[in-house]
Structure 1
Amino acid sequence: MTSQPDDFVAVQLLAILNDADAPEGDQLDAAMDLEDHSGAWFEQEIFEILRRERFESVLAQVCAESLAGIWARQSRIDQGFFPELHGPALREVLGILGARAPHLIPAGTGED
């Protein structure tokens, strides 16, 4: 099990995203800021948000965009999670990776 990062800002962003009472605008702002952080625990939390949102919501799309930005910056993707992506979240990831790190897109990857 990976430990929680020491990155206080990342922890706060995830707290906003996991707060059902947080205003949608605050959640979307937090999701946009995810790209500036990283770590195994952090990515697992993003995966859980995407699953919770069923890869479809606007929040899922913004989280997916930030996740793709993390992957592009780190020049790697999570091979275990990538196949789960579908719908709008997959399109966001493919768009970001296509523009910033096309070599990371697995062969044969397509939309639903």
Structure 2
Amino acid sequence: MTADEPAELDCLADECALRRSVGGAVVMGEQYDHLIAMSERPNVSLRVLPAGLRPPRTGAFQLIRTEDAVVAYQETRRSAHYYSEPEAVADYQRLLDELRERALDPDRSRDLIAGLKT
């Protein structure tokens, strides 16, 4: 993320997950600070899905883009799946686009995370 030509990261996080305390207030404060710092990088976009919006039933997933391909990746409790079929990748892309539309913009997301520290 800090190389001369860094990878780009476009991340969506569920507000409920951000509010779930793990490790106590000090640890959570450090995590929030890290998220804020990373979100200020030009190659990182962090958006928060507001609480109250129904998250997708698919759970967490990733779209991984290289020069040669796009792959959808999803972990489950017992395994991990890579989807390279065009229709599967397109389905995950549509879901990502829908979630982006419902998420707060990066500035409002950063403000929300900063507000969680109090």
Q: Same fold (TM over 0.5)?
A: no
Larger RCO (CA under 8 A, 6+ residues apart): 2
State the TM-score, normalizing by the size of structure 2.
0.28
State the TM-score, normalizing by the size of structure 1.
0.29
Per residue, is there more helix in 1 or in 2?
1
Per residue, is there more strand in 1 or in 2?
2
